[in-house]
Amino acid sequence: MANEQSFCTQALVDMMNGKHALGASVARADTGGGAAAKDSYYGALYYTSASRGRTDTVYNSTGEVSHASYTPGGNILTTAVAPSVSGNTAFWTPSASLVFTTLTAADFNCLLVYNFTSATKLALSVHIFGNQSVTAGNFTLSMPVNDATTGLIRFSVPV
């Protein structure tokens, strides 16, 4: 099965249970990971054959890029921007590009965003980009404009 771009289904339930707080200014209540804390989100890279998608519930390393130049678990996302709303759409985008320096990896196309702060590293979303191969180079994932049309994570309520 190929990687599938999707918000993780379990993350919807996790959000309703207060297990995710996007943005830098909100601290969620303790949900099993210790004292109340601001959540940190990470992005991990996966090979095209990894089968990541909507059924992911937690971060795991199965199919993750593996090389001495890559840190298992990926890199931290900058979450300085708070979630916003425009019309009937709520949206959130990390506030900076995600950069993997001196990366060497072949045939990868997927980023899993997950909550590093949660005790089980809860999966949030899977994002697909074109197949990539990099040899000792910087790999940058530029974030989209943070708005209701292109924000990285968007929820809309039918009108």
Give the tens place of pLDDT for each residue, 55-97.
999 999 999 999 999 999 999 999 888 899 999 999 999 999 9
Query: Can you give the residue range of the structural domain that contains 10?
Result: 6-156
**Domains of the chain: total:** 1
The pTM is what?
Answer: 0.90
Please list the residues that pair with 46 across neighbouring strands: 64, 110
Q: Is residue 36 part of a domain?
A: yes
Poorest-pLDDT segment among 20-24, 26-30, 137-141, 145-149: 26-30
Q: 54 in a domain, yes or no?
A: yes
Describe the strand order of the beta sheet including 153-156 as a list of residue ranges: 84-86, 89-92, 153-156
pLDDT at 16: 84
Sign of CA dihedral 72, 78, 83, 84: negative
Q: Do the domain assignments include residue 143?
A: yes
pLDDT digit string (tens) for 3-45?
Answer: 999 999 999 998 888 888 887 766 665 555 555 567 899 999 9
DSSP for residue 14: H
Helix (H) or strand (E) holding 38: strand 37-38
- Look at residue 1 and tell me if it is in a domain: no
